[in-house]
Amino acid sequence: MAMLNKAKPQRRSAGTDTLIGEGTLWEGSCTSEADIRIEGEVVGDLRISGEVVIGEKGIVRSEITAKDVTIAGRMEGTVKADGVVRITATGKLFGTVQAGSLIIEKGAVFQGNSHMIEGTDDRIFPCAVV
């Protein structure tokens, strides 16, 4: 007769993506080790260890602190990223950016202020318009 091995519950992987889908309104703060993709609406602060992607239909009114942030939808507030903040051609950012590097694609909207973080990787251009 075999003995049953009772394993401890496993924590979710830091690589697990979190999706806030279209038609969803999230109000309140969120802290996560996983990447997050927003296609709905978020009102509240986000503290994400990985990457935040605001999809084309996403709307965020918040302060985001993350490793990297990609904005393809609408962002109003403050974005703080140790790595790259990218505003795609469909993206709109109204607020303040503090990042290692900032990439603004042709057609994007950025109205606000930017502050570059010192000590970034020399292979990344601090600011680029593509």
What pLDDT was estimated at residue 8?
A: 44
**Are the beta carbons of 32 and 49 closer than 8 angstroms?**
yes
Instruction: Enumerate residues 6+ apart whose C-beta is below 8 A from 79.
Output: 63, 64, 66, 69, 71, 85, 93, 95, 96, 97, 98, 99
Strand-pair partners of 77: 62, 95
What pLDDT was estimated at residue 15?
A: 52
What pLDDT was estimated at residue 21?
A: 94
For residue 89, the 8-state DSSP code is T
**Are the beta carbons of 31 and 9 closer than 8 angstroms?**
no
For the cut 80, the answer to whether the pLDDT of residue 105 exceeds it is yes
pLDDT tens digit string along 7-35?
444 444 455 589 999 999 999 999 999 99
pLDDT tens digit string along 46-85?
999 999 999 999 999 999 999 999 999 999 999 999 999 9
Amino acid at 61: R
Q: How confident is the model at residue 125 (pLDDT cuts 50, 70, 90)?
A: low
